[in-house]
Amino acid sequence: MPLALLALAVGAFGIGTTEFVMMGLLPDVAADLRVSIPGAGHLVSAYALGVVIGAPLLAAVTARMSRRTVLIALMALFVAGNALSAFAPDHHWLLAARFVSGLPHGAFFGVGAVVATTMVSPDRKARSVSLMFLGLTVANIVGVPVATLVGQHLGWRATFLGVSAIGVAAIASLARLLPRDHEHAAAAAGLRGELAALRSLPVWLALGTTVAGFGALFAAYSYITPMLTDSAGYAATSVTLLLALFGVGATAGNLLGGRLADHAMRGTLFGGLTALVVTLALFPVLMGTPWTAAVAVVLLGVAAFVTGSPLQLVVMEKASAAPSLASSANQAAFNLANAGGAWIGGLALAAGYGVTSPALAGAGLAVLGLAVAATAYAVDRRRAAASRTARERLVASHVPQQAQTPVR
């Protein structure tokens, strides 16, 4: 695998750290800026809103630029957003800074995935994407806990300065390691071609699979802490370690999904979604004891992230003529899944169905993801059959009629 993938992984590590560290810093930020915890929670939403808006917008605006230049510029915007967060004088300025920090998130992963696949042979595309995403999953194991500790001991502003430093390191890595031939690797179709790719039904079905599949994850994961404390019996102080176990599972699932998808893309996607359905359906049982709850957290990470690389590649393949915008839109779909899954899980919890009910709601979303993926597969088969029939008719129309010999 090319060393340039390391530069993409460094950028992904910084993005993953800044996305999830706010959850651990909410009490400190709320106390310092004199706002309520729910008010500080809007900082999480501001970042997610930036991702959803920035992913397609920045990918579209930069459609004719070289992808190497785009990636470096996106990381520069990332550094600026986190530096503004560190020096924000009040809650409103911090909201704006978090929105700016989220803008480059989706476009970086979207364009980065396209670049990663162009640097390897066709049989290693999924693995190249999974290695870039490795930075995101490792951030949950190392980056977020360390950044949270820094924020708790040196102040939350120091955390965002540290994340800015990671962004600077990513810029240096991209400039040094990314091949120069990507200076002219942008899609020749430009903005019009990128937008045309989004008119494809298979692309939208792939995006729908992402929303439903990862919505299933966030329906459960958003409420994993009360499940672990109220159902499994863990002390609140143990939750951080258990969330690190989720990161371990996510990392393993990401690497496994990349390797399997290079051999059987569709099989890996269906297998991962099926595993997610089974895992979430068993949550009420697995959360009954501490050790089975720990196993459930790891399995959730594996089952969810084994589908990450296949989903990204499916979207890119369905928009093969102009993949950057569609690939970035998949990251927006991921964040819509985050918000929508948490909302649906919260509805189950508020309805009084029990502390593990969000997991069952997630299982239902995973079944929906399977149904959308099956629909996409059926559409692909039908289109392939129609294309094959058209080719056969074309060939038959060009075959000269055999001269008939008159009967004596």
**One domain for residues 152 and 195:** no
**One domain for residues 329 and 252:** yes
**One domain for residues 123 and 260:** no
Helix (H, G, I), strand (E, B) or coil at 235: coil
Query: At 8, which CATH number?
Result: 1.20.1250.20
Tokens for 21?
A: 């560290």
* Within-domain flag for 403: no
**One domain for residues 312 and 378:** yes
* Within-domain flag for 215: yes
Q: Which amino acid is at 2?
A: P
Each residue of 128-148: b (16+ CB within 10 Å) or e? Answer: bbbbbbbbbbbbbbebbbebb
* Within-domain flag for 407: no
> 228 vs 145, 223, 250, 252, 293, CA distance in Å?
18, 9, 18, 22, 7
* Within-domain flag for 329: yes
* Within-domain flag for 405: no
- Count structural domains, the chain: 2
From CA 131, how far away is CA 133, in angstroms rounded?
Answer: 5
Answer with the one of 170, 186, 202 that is the final residue of a domain: 186
Mean pLDDT per 10-residue section of the chain, whose length is 408 residues: 85 89 78 78 82 86 84 95 93 92 90 87 86 87 83 88 94 88 50 69 89 90 85 81 87 91 89 95 93 93 90 81 77 84 86 90 94 89 74 68 51
Answer with the one of 130, 160, 186 that is the final residue of a domain: 186
Helix (H) or strand (E) run with residue 55 in it: helix 37-61
**Distance, first Cα to last Cα, the chain:** 72
SS3 content of the chain, % helix, strand, coil (to 5): 85, 0, 15
From CA 116, how far away is CA 326, in angstroms rounded?
Answer: 15
Helix (H, G, I), strand (E, B) or coil at 306: coil
Please answer whether residues 356 and 281 qualify as being in contact, where contact means their C-beta atoms are separated by less than 8 angstroms: no
**One domain for residues 160 and 263:** no
Q: Please tell me the pTM assigned to this model.
A: 0.80
Please, which residues have CB within 8 angstroms of residue 374's CB and are 6 or more apart in sequence?
270
pLDDT digits (tens, 9 = 90+) for 79-111: 999 999 999 999 899 999 999 999 999 889 888
* Residue 406, pLDDT score: 53
User: If you search the block for the tokens 């706002």, which residue do you land on?
Assistant: 35
**One domain for residues 38 and 124:** yes
User: If you search the block for the tokens 């359906």, which residue do you land on?
Assistant: 281
**One domain for residues 269 and 382:** yes
**One domain for residues 156 and 262:** no
Helix (H) or strand (E) run with residue 195 in it: helix 190-197
Question: What DSSP line would sit under 310-368, residue for residue?
Answer: HHHHHHHHHTTTSHHHHHHHHHHHHHHHHHHHHHHHHHHHHTTS-TTHHHHHHHHHHHH
**One domain for residues 311 and 162:** no
Backbone angles phi, psi at 324, to 5 degrees: -60, -50
Closest CA to 198 of 61, 332, 322, 309: 322
* Within-domain flag for 116: yes
> 287 vs 117, 140, 296, CA distance in Å?
39, 22, 7
User: If you search the block for the tokens 């009910």, which residue do you land on?
Assistant: 357
From CA 58, how far away is CA 78, in angstroms rounded?
Answer: 13
pLDDT digits (tens, 9 = 90+) for 353-382: 888 999 999 999 999 999 999 998 888 888
**One domain for residues 45 and 179:** yes
Please, which residues have CB within 8 angstroms of residue 385's CB and are 6 or more apart in sequence?
none
* Residue 212, pLDDT score: 93
Answer with the one of 130, 165, 186 that is the final residue of a domain: 186
Tokens for 241?
A: 């370690």
Tokens for 164?
A: 């800015």
- Give the angle 204-363-283 at the CA atoms, nearest 5°: 150
* Within-domain flag for 305: yes
* Within-domain flag for 76: yes
**One domain for residues 158 and 225:** no
Q: Which domain holds residue 256?
A: 191-396
Tokens for 370?
A: 């399977």
**One domain for residues 94 and 224:** no
